[in-house]
Amino acid sequence: MADIPNRPIYMDYQATTPLDERVLEAMMPYFAEHFGNPHSTTHSFGWMAEEAVEKARGRIASLIGASADEIIFTSGATEANNLAIKGMGRAYSHHRNTIITVETEHKCVLESATQMAREGMNIVYLPVGADGLVDLDIFAAALNDDVLLVSVMAVNNEIGVIQPIREMAALCREKRIFFHTDAAQALGKMPLDVVDMNIDLMSLSAHKIYGPKGVGALYVRRESRARPEPVLSGGGQEGGLRSGTLAPALCVGFGEACEVAAAEMDADLERLQCYFDRIIGALCAPERGVQLNGHQRQRFPGNINISIEGLDGELLLSSIRDLAVSSGAACASAVSGPSYVLQAIGVPENLAEASLRIGLGRQTTDAEVDYAIDFLLQAIEQLRKKA
């Protein structure tokens, strides 16, 4: 077995990512030295903080082809998704009353949609195929004159598949339906261009791209004249769309993370594809009873979700403590029972219970991948013998 000095090995990059050193360095001065309130307009501490926030806003915008004034800072992607769905619903439900989303969206999209159902809106949940993807014909057929908003995630957090959001958004634009995408797992990992892709609203997160936790953003396309009703109101910051004192350190960290991602995305992606191929090649084979969940190619290669036949999921997780992987979404870790995403793609319950999400990222090394492969093969074999 390959020798690895630092264990456990972190392979849970969909839950959160370690902070990039460059991000840390960019952030630190904004706690003590440049501590101003960016909304203080009467002195230089405030101006300096504001300048830093605006520079960060520009960097985030440029990673998705937006302009800076289309970026609304939030406390994270969860809040951004809440603002997009509840905010758009509350602002325009008198005009059109249906929201379309997908069964495999992140909990915060589904919960926001549920809240809008409580408030009287009609919510349509589209199914996905066994590959985890939405069928475009089914999608097109669901669009009608009552549809206000479509919300489909770019990259799934549990199984990593990439939804055809470009095609979906084009259809929506034709029918003057607002298109929102939760791009928390896609930002900085694949090219995104909101103009080219016809996207009206996009949720972003910093801590999934080696930035800090506690900050995210919602892109709101200026030309669409979409104006979600604020979820957080008060001081009127962020153009009235999101009140509350901004945290410059967090905004700066997010901006720096975007800058680094823009420069390193291609190289990161190429390396992750190699790791993906290696891990899949070594683990997934019918005779071994290990299967990859979700589409084989239309996916982010840093997400490897596998199911292992004939094993107890909990026993499996507890026997591989040296690998910090997860069985699904982090926020659902405390919830027992199989993942609703795996159920939606038709993975049988016993298999869904014995699933692992292996998340790779920028700091993953060759040696870690080799170690993980050996370690998993051995663990599976041992558990099989016991069983």
Q: How far is the CB of 353 from other proteins (least distance, A)?
A: 15
- The answer to whether the beta carbons of residues 157 and 129 sit under 8 Å apart is no
331 is catalytic: yes
176 Cβ contact list (under 8 Å, min separation 6): none
Q: How far is the CB of 246 from other proteins (least distance, A)?
A: 7
* Separation of alpha carbons 337 and 343, rounded Å: 10
Is the alpha carbon torsion for 282, 284, 285, 287 positive or negative? positive
Q: Catalytic residue, from 108, 274, 284, 331: name it.
A: 331
Q: Which DSSP symbol is given to 103?
A: T
Is the alpha carbon torsion for 74, 75, 80, 86 positive or negative? negative
Q: Which is nearer to other proteins, 118 or 385 (CB)?
A: 118
Say how many C-beta atoms besides its own lie within 10 A of residue 130's C-beta. Answer: 12
Return the amino acid letter for 317: L
The alpha carbon of residue 291 and the mean position of all alpha carbons in its chain are separated, in whole angstroms, by 23
Q: How far is the CB of 59 from other proteins (least distance, A)?
A: 18
Q: Which residue has the tokens 């969206």?
A: 105
Q: How far is the CB of 287 from other proteins (least distance, A)?
A: 29
Which residues participate in catalysis according to the annotation?
331
